[in-house]
Amino acid sequence: MADSYGLAVRAIVRDEKGRVLLLRRSTANRTNAGLWEFPGGKVEPGEFFENALERELVEECGLQVRLVGVAGAVQTEASDVHVVQLVMKAEVSGGEPRLSHEHDRFEWFEPDRLPVETMIPEFRQFAEELAAGGG
Amino acid sequence: MADSYGLAVRAIVRDEKGRVLLLRRSTANRTNAGLWEFPGGKVEPGEFFENALERELVEECGLQVRLVGVAGAVQTEASDVHVVQLVMKAEVSGGEPRLSHEHDRFEWFEPDRLPVETMIPEFRQFAEELAAGGG
């Protein structure tokens, strides 16, 4: 098992109706293709986590967001590194939805209707909290 | 309320007996003096979170640790910034306990004997998880 850690940051993004954004991983991904995830990604060396999230959201889904708090953190495993996934809460503040090659679908879900069974396993706990009225 | 976010990293450090390290904040601190906390501190601009934790642990308590996973994340408030507190799980790997001016006491607690009522409020949920056998 890897000994080193990387940091990634994700956002539970809500629209003005309170719906939650998920992206579905395309077959361009070596792992978890076909599974839904919260937008976000790796924090690059020297990059501040808030800027990393802002950059990833524009790249992955064309949206600007406003952070509203912390949802939690979980660990995922990449081939050579443990990844700490810091999950923030956010609201859309601008932009027009669009996809990168990493995803093949973009959808806003009611918080109690997230597709838990087809989400990346490590993120399911957040879906369950959202369904229970948390998050 | 502040609109910007800072990142801090903390560790739930266990010794070889499974006991958990807490430090008590000294009166040198403007906030939370007298309350117990997990060691750690701010991630400086450009600093990787793992290096920040390593640096803070040496500075605050003279210990080297090995990371073993992610415990979670909570938010605290400073005068001008929201602080995301990323809490990692760690084991002591070396060093000799000593204190900086920021703390006046250093103690290893059994996981079900943490002084929950006199901990920084945002960290109490981790104490409760430790008492319940988690973490």
Q: What is the pLDDT of residues A14-73, one digit of tens each?
A: 999 999 999 999 999 989 999 999 999 999 988 999 999 999 999 999 999 999 999 999
Whether A87 sits inside 8 A of B72 (CB atoms) is no
Q: Which of A102, A104, A128, A103 is nearest to A115 (CA)?
A: A128
Nearest CA in chain B to A50: B5
Answer whether residue B22 shows pLDDT above 60: yes
Confidence band for A77, pLDDT divided at 50, 70 and 90: very high
- A68 interface with B at CB cutoff 8 Å: no
Whether B73 sits inside 8 A of A70 (CB atoms) is yes
Whether B70 sits inside 8 A of A74 (CB atoms) is yes
Quote the pLDDT of residue A133.
Answer: 87
> Looking at the domain B5-131, which fold is it?
Nucleoside Triphosphate Pyrophosphohydrolase (3.90.79)
Taking only the tens place, the pLDDT of each residue in B97-135 is 889 999 999 999 999 999 999 999 999 999 999 999 876
- Provide the residue ranges of all domains of chain B, joining segments of one domain with +: 5-131
Contacts of A87 in chain B (CB under 8 A): 73
Picking from B50, B69, B74, the nearest residue to A70 by CB comes out as B74
Residue B94 to residue A56: CA distance in whole angstroms? 38
Q: Backbone phi, then psi, for B122, in 5-degree steps?
A: -65, -20
Q: Backbone phi, then psi, for A16, in 5-degree steps?
A: -70, -15
Picking from B5, B50, B86, the nearest residue to A50 by CB comes out as B5
Contacts of B42 in chain A (CB under 8 A): none
Q: Is residue A51 within a helix (H) or strand (E), and if so which, with residue range?
A: helix A49-61
Nearest CA in chain A to B1: A68
Answer whether residue B1 shows pLDDT above 60: no
Q: What is the value of ipTM here, to two decimals?
A: 0.89
Picking from B5, B69, B72, the nearest residue to A72 by CB comes out as B72
Answer whether residue A1 shows pLDDT above 50: no
| Pair type for strands B36-37 and A5-14 | unpaired
**For chain A, what percent of residues have pLDDT higher than 90?**
88
Summarize the confidence of residues B42-61 as an average pLDDT. 93
Quote the pLDDT of residue B133.
Answer: 87
Picking from B5, B67, B88, the nearest residue to A67 by CB comes out as B5
Q: Say whether pTM exceeds 0.90.
A: yes
Residue A100 to residue A64: CA distance in whole angstroms? 15
Whether A88 sits inside 8 A of B86 (CB atoms) is no
How close is the nearest chain A Cα to the Cα of B1, in Å?
A: 11
Enter the CATH code of domain A5-93+103-131. 3.90.79.10
Residues 6+ away with beta carbon under 8 Å from A110: A18, A19, A20
How close is the nearest chain B Cα to the Cα of A133, in Å?
A: 18
Contacts of A50 in chain B (CB under 8 A): 4-5
